[in-house]
Structure 1
Amino acid sequence: MPIYADAIISAKQVITMDPSNSMATSVAIKDGIILAVGDDLRSVQGPDTATHSFLDCTVFPGFIEPHTHPDLCAQMYSWVDISGFSHKTSIEVMEALRKSIYKAPKGEWIFAFGYDPVIFPDLTGLTRDELDDIAPENPIAVMTQSMHTLFVNSLALSEAGIDESSEPARFGGEYVRDHTGRLTGKIEESPAMRPFLRFFDDSKETRSNNLSRQYDRYKSVGITTIGSAGLFFRDEETVALYQDETVGDRLRIRNAVYLRHMDIDNHNLPKFPSNKVFGMSGVKLWYDGSPYTGTMLLDQPYLNTELTTKGLGIATDSTGRANWELDEFYQLVSGLHDRGVQILVHAQGDRATREVLDTFEQVLNNSSNKVHRHRIEHSALMERDEILRAADLGISISFHMNHVKYYGQRLRDEIIGSDRSQYLMPARSAQEAGIRISLHADSPMFPPNPLDLVQTAVGRMSVTGEMINEPEKLDLKDAMRAVTIDAAWQLGIDDQVGSLEVGKLADFTILGQNPFDVNTNKLNAIPILDTWLSGTSTNSLIN
């Protein structure tokens, strides 16, 4: 008895991203699974098969964002927007902040997101006293674009119960003090920020609406699967909010969850590969911090420039810091690895990536378990010897590529220097070493947009018009793999998504143009017409 498709999609091109890089014009779907791929699928077209034509368009595997923060996006994108992506000058930024304070009732908390001294050179690190002057009657918390620094005023410190004797929770936070021991209002890293963030309106309705809007943002740029890198599950209600987004016509994003290590035994999530829409994939660890907070761990000091010492408030001759003692980090990684847990480690600086690889090497040498898909996240600075070592150890890398686009020129000239910029985001070197890489935006730090990441990876062009570390340009094919099949491999679900092959889930992104036919400096302008999950359109834009 013949097996007929439920639906057949036809397009100008179907780019499969399979091992042969084959192309076709049609895909057949049965029960949400790809039944056939080819040019003539009449053999599986029955009397009840629906047909959908995108004859001027290109069908791609659904895009994958392997490192994002839907919870933080849902929260921070609802704060007062003072980012360099929405404002043209620092004057506009500060005016937006002042307007929000003027409108707020006395005593109401004000949260703002996107303060960015890297984009706007005349912005400097905010102080407690400055914020006291700006907001004398309201507790205020201002998050930088990098999300690694929070600035607060005296009222915020008081309401959070933080005083000169307070110390943050473990794992890498700091309440910054001046030379007299007085709190400056600068809060570094997530563990130190939590006492303040709990004052944001966190009702179930607010969280649900904000999360739903964030899923729509992912969908609008062609993303069908995300890796949540360090999702914060505070309670069972949080789990329910994510599960609600998988029900019926609300399903438009698959979410592979990486928990914080302290939460791994305190949840009831299914395994993602079996659940396929929302479940646990592994654990996320933070080894160092951010280049723009001064917590990226380096071998040699940051440059001492106006930007680093005044704009970012980094101590003179600082080399950053690690969030862990090496012995303690080894014990944690070893225990997780022996349990078969996939481990993602945030590491930005050259010293950080080396020490993380030292740890992985020691763990793998001492363990009988040699099977893993452990990853290093961001990898801003990574020398060639460490890239080769990562390849030998089977450690893959996910690159935070739009550091190059938005901050590349100032990183090179004012933060790390031209010598170190020669191994800034070394994507091509990693790919040539045999590492399966991916690209991510780390939203809400940068807006989610896989095609924008691809454009940066193949062009290495900054917003200032300068090319940054040109030898590390990726070929377009390799960059597209980094947001489809290789990203799926990193998430451990390449047998289900990432390419259009028989037996895989029918997840598609419908593009208005074929990226391989477009000038590479215009990739991010390609229209996203639709996404499909398990053979169903997520927005019903079917022509």
Structure 2
Amino acid sequence: MCIGCSPLGQALARAGVSRRSFLSGSGRLALGAAATGFGARFNCAAAQGPSDPSGAADAIFSGGTILTMDDARPTAEAVAVRGGRILAVGTRDEVNARRGAGTRSIDLAGRTMLPGFFDAHGHAVFVGLQAVSANLLPAPDGQGNDIAALQRLLREWMARSQPAIRRYGLIIGFGYDDSQLREQRHPTRDDLDQVSTDTPILIIHQSGHLGVVNSKALELAGITAATADPVGGVYRRRPGSREPDGVIEEIAFFSLLSKLGERFDLDAYLAMIRAGTEFYARFGYTTCQEARAFGDTVGRIAEAAERNLLPIDLLVYADIVAATDQIRAPALSREYRNRFRIGGAKLVIDGTPQGKTAWLTRPYYVPPPGQRGDYVGFPAIPSENAFAAVDRAFAEGWQIICHCNGDAASDVWIAAIREATRKHGRADRRPVLIHGQVLREDQMDALRALDILPSLFPMHTFYWGDWHRDSVLGPERAENISPTGWAMQRGMRFTSHHDAPVANPDSMRVLSATVTRRTRSGDILGPQHCVPVPVALKAMTIWAAHQHFEEDRKGSIEVGKLADFAVLSGNPLDVEPAALAGLKVVQTFKEGVSIFSA
């Protein structure tokens, strides 16, 4: 996913979003619905009021199942909270000993409380992109199941958004997926020209790594038959011609985005940040991530933090190529200031498997149109640049995370970490391989040897598992996408993510996919990689906190840690695996304060 890496992605964020419409999911908003007021600011310490000077608890949670993610005490009957931190964990009698005259009782009413979920990889700022664009997602998240439906959805959005279209001169849709379209192909400029030839149209693939534009957008961007493909990008062409067909991949796509935006204001951008983080809270996340921020994004998140607009912690990784000037103190810190900190740097080596731009060592099962049978995708950057980026991160003391989907990309990442470790020596740096969908088993051994943490994406098994099996990788390789089983065999910590807005930050869908690996068609893709529920929960809580050097304060319900909790409608340890996706987050607490209640 790479929405956040484009200037237009940042510009679209600055378009703003109505909080009510965004959180309700009731509709897609006009691009120009900029917000100028933000309602109540979030400051949990202030919301709690002063604690009892006697040292008694501010609140005691009990009356349900409490799963702590603490191996020393996996369950508890009650939890006491004081000053936003956990004061006591144990039996009712043990915890009630901390009760005072002013202690509030919070009844879980038979529900299940866990540590707040920790986003292992996502793009919180750009979750709101879906709220300011036409919803082109296929079922079950939308109606974009064929090209005629995409055209209809764009026209309906245009009818609702005329003021925004006049103001910004752009028609935009998000979330089409060629693998789910009846035609089993990408739309083209010709398909979009049937919607409008006067106003530029941009539709973004659900992966965020490619998109389609109409003829007017190509004209404004100056993209013609004479335009060469940039390094790390592709302009797809009409058959037998050099004329662009409107489908644009990777670097070429991001470059086009930058030419279509840059016109939205600060207040709207702040509203976007607020809405995105609030949406995460609906799914029990108490820490979220902007996993590839550029200069504008970093500055605006910092501004949102200074205005106390963040309901949950927002952890940022700045792009190591384009935003290294932003990776500095005081924001570069292990400590949050007003719920914001920079954790380090982000590197991207390749693209997306479902869009067939990930960089593989063996050819795609079915090559994309216009490519030969030996097509293996392509790198996003030259390998020497990746080596230089890792070397700089090690030299500067930055944690570095890296997007690698294909195994060829992972080979480069592993080699770069090995070389930087040889040069700078071993230390507790916790480099992270993001996605790793086509990891080979020998690469898992290398990750373990080099202390590289894998943050895997088993949610793909539901959304694109059938597509990977039948078109992208073929049956053999598809069985091993996001190989959590290999990690478990080696005793490795791993995390499981959603990469929002590629998918909603739906914690229960992440849990379900990690445990069941069931595809849309009902197939189980790689049963050897199915994960027990307790392990899958650790991958979303304590192991995710460890990935980000925050295991001392988050990820489990233990004395002294932050009182960050998610309350579920049922106990994931008790329901059948097939029912996990149907569980709901009914309440989210950040530092002891309720920030979402269903």
Q: Aligned equivalents of 2:359 and 2:298: distance in 1?
A: 35
| Closer/same/farther in 2, CA of residues 339 and 3 from structure 1, 3 Å limit | same
**Cα displacement (A) at 1:412:** 0.9
Conserved? CA contact 2:433–2:453, under 8 Å: yes
For residues 34-62 of structure 1, the C-alpha deviation after alignment (integer angstroms, 9 at most, x for no partner) is: 11101121221122222222131111000
Q: Aligned equivalents of 1:462 and 1:314: distance in 2?
A: 27
Partner residue, 1:89: 145
State whether structure 2 residue 415 is matched by structure 1 residue 358: yes
**Cα displacement (A) at 1:194:** 4.2
The 5-angstrom pairing of residues 464-479 of structure 1 reads 464-479=521-536
Q: Aligned equivalents of 2:422 and 2:333: distance in 1?
A: 28
Conserved? CA contact 2:356–2:472, under 8 Å: no
Give the letter for the 1:345 counterpart. C
Q: Aligned equivalents of 1:295 and 1:69: distance in 2?
A: 20
Conserved? CA contact 1:169–1:192, under 8 Å: no
2:324 is matched with which residue: 259, 264, 276? 264
Conserved? CA contact 1:168–1:192, under 8 Å: no
Q: Which runs of 4+ in 1 moved over 6 A?
A: 167-170
**Cα displacement (A) at 1:236:** 7.2
The 5-angstrom pairing of residues 9-88 of structure 1 reads 9-39=61-91, 40=93, 41-84=95-138, 85-87=141-143
Using the TM superposition, name which of 265-274 and 339-348 deviates more: 265-274
Conserved? CA contact 1:381–1:423, under 8 Å: yes
**Cα displacement (A) at 1:275:** 1.6
Q: Aligned equivalents of 1:499 and 1:314: distance in 2?
A: 48
| Closer/same/farther in 2, CA of residues 316 and 354 from structure 1, 3 Å limit | same
**Cα displacement (A) at 1:103:** 6.2
State whether structure 2 residue 283 is matched by structure 1 residue 227: no
| Closer/same/farther in 2, CA of residues 34 and 231 from structure 1, 3 Å limit | same
Conserved? CA contact 2:126–2:276, under 8 Å: no
Partner residue, 2:205: 144
The 5-angstrom pairing of residues 492-507 of structure 1 reads 492-507=549-564
| TM-score where L is the length of structure 1 | 0.91
Partner residue, 1:454: 511
Q: Aligned equivalents of 1:469 and 1:27: distance in 2?
A: 38
Using the TM superposition, name which of 451-460 and 4-13 deviates more: 4-13
State whether structure 2 residue 191 is matched by structure 1 residue 130: yes
Using the TM superposition, name which of 502-511 and 85-94 deviates more: 85-94
| Closer/same/farther in 2, CA of residues 71 and 87 from structure 1, 3 Å limit | same
Partner residue, 1:111: 172
**Cα displacement (A) at 1:511:** 1.4
For residues 271-320 of structure 1, the C-alpha deviation after alignment (integer angstroms, 9 at most, x for no partner) is: 3521262110011111110113322111111123xxx535xx65543101
Q: Aligned equivalents of 1:192 and 1:467: distance in 2?
A: 34
The root-mean-square deviation of aligned C-alpha atoms, in Å, is 2.4
Conserved? CA contact 1:58–1:514, under 8 Å: yes
Using the TM superposition, name which of 189-198 and 56-65 deviates more: 189-198
How many matched pairs?
A: 532
Q: Aligned equivalents of 2:66 and 2:101: distance in 1?
A: 24
Q: Aligned equivalents of 2:298 and 2:480: distance in 1?
A: 43
Conserved? CA contact 2:209–2:253, under 8 Å: no
**Cα displacement (A) at 1:540:** 6.2
Conserved? CA contact 1:272–1:280, under 8 Å: yes
Partner residue, 2:355: 293
**Cα displacement (A) at 1:102:** 6.0
Q: Aligned equivalents of 2:282 and 2:590: distance in 1?
A: 14
User: Secondary structure of the equivalent of 1:56?
Assistant: coil
Q: Aligned equivalents of 1:275 and 1:191: distance in 2?
A: 36
Q: Aligned equivalents of 1:388 and 1:373: distance in 2?
A: 16
Give the letter for the 2:56 counterpart. Y
Q: Aligned equivalents of 1:242 and 1:176: distance in 2?
A: 39
Runs (5+) with no aligned partner, structure 1: none
Conserved? CA contact 2:516–2:577, under 8 Å: yes
**Cα displacement (A) at 1:198:** 5.7
Q: Aligned equivalents of 1:270 and 1:169: distance in 2?
A: 34
Q: Aligned equivalents of 1:351 and 1:128: distance in 2?
A: 32
**Cα displacement (A) at 1:520:** 1.4
**Cα displacement (A) at 1:89:** 3.1
User: Secondary structure of the equivalent of 2:109?
Assistant: strand
Give the letter for the 1:67 counterpart. H
Q: Aligned equivalents of 1:267 and 1:471: distance in 2?
A: 40
Q: Aligned equivalents of 2:414 and 2:186: distance in 1?
A: 33
**Cα displacement (A) at 1:535:** 1.4
State whether structure 2 residue 204 is matched by structure 1 residue 204: no
Q: Aligned equivalents of 1:103 and 1:365: distance in 2?
A: 58
User: Secondary structure of the equivalent of 2:111?
Assistant: strand
| Closer/same/farther in 2, CA of residues 104 and 160 from structure 1, 3 Å limit | farther
Q: Aligned equivalents of 2:398 and 2:482: distance in 1?
A: 26
User: Secondary structure of the equivalent of 1:468?
Assistant: coil
Q: Aligned equivalents of 2:449 and 2:596: distance in 1?
A: 43
| Closer/same/farther in 2, CA of residues 120 and 133 from structure 1, 3 Å limit | closer
**Cα displacement (A) at 1:491:** 1.3
Runs (5+) with no aligned partner, structure 2: 1-52
**Cα displacement (A) at 1:69:** 0.8
User: Secondary structure of the equivalent of 1:289?
Assistant: coil
2:218 is matched with which residue: 157, 171, 177? 157
User: Secondary structure of the equivalent of 1:55?
Assistant: coil
Give the letter for the 1:297 counterpart. W
2:280 is matched with which residue: 214, 218, 226? 218
The 5-angstrom pairing of residues 111-510 of structure 1 reads 111-164=172-225, 172-177=232-237, 180-190=241-251, 192-196=253-257, 199-200=260-261, 202-234=264-296, 238-243=300-305, 247=308, 250-261=309-320, 262-266=322-326, 270-275=331-336, 277-304=339-366, 308-310=367-369, 316-510=373-567
Give the letter for the 1:504 counterpart. K
| Closer/same/farther in 2, CA of residues 235 and 461 from structure 1, 3 Å limit | closer
User: Secondary structure of the equivalent of 1:234?
Assistant: helix
Conserved? CA contact 1:111–1:140, under 8 Å: yes
| Closer/same/farther in 2, CA of residues 137 and 28 from structure 1, 3 Å limit | same
| TM-score where L is the length of structure 2 | 0.83
Using the TM superposition, name which of 418-427 and 280-289 deviates more: 418-427
Q: Aligned equivalents of 1:181 and 1:137: distance in 2?
A: 23
For residues 379-430 of structure 1, the C-alpha deviation after alignment (integer angstroms, 9 at most, x for no partner) is: 1111111111111111111111211001111211221111212321111211
Partner residue, 2:57: 5
User: Secondary structure of the equivalent of 1:185?
Assistant: strand
Overall identity of the aligned pairs, in %: 27
Partner residue, 1:514: 571
| Closer/same/farther in 2, CA of residues 134 and 335 from structure 1, 3 Å limit | same
Q: Aligned equivalents of 2:393 and 2:58: distance in 1?
A: 43
**Cα displacement (A) at 1:167:** 6.2
| Closer/same/farther in 2, CA of residues 139 and 382 from structure 1, 3 Å limit | same
User: Secondary structure of the equivalent of 1:482?
Assistant: helix
Q: Aligned equivalents of 2:133 and 2:374: distance in 1?
A: 34
Give the letter for the 2:553 counterpart. Q
Conserved? CA contact 1:82–1:94, under 8 Å: no
**Cα displacement (A) at 1:368:** 2.2
Q: Aligned equivalents of 1:387 and 1:18: distance in 2?
A: 26
Q: Aligned equivalents of 2:254 and 2:63: distance in 1?
A: 49
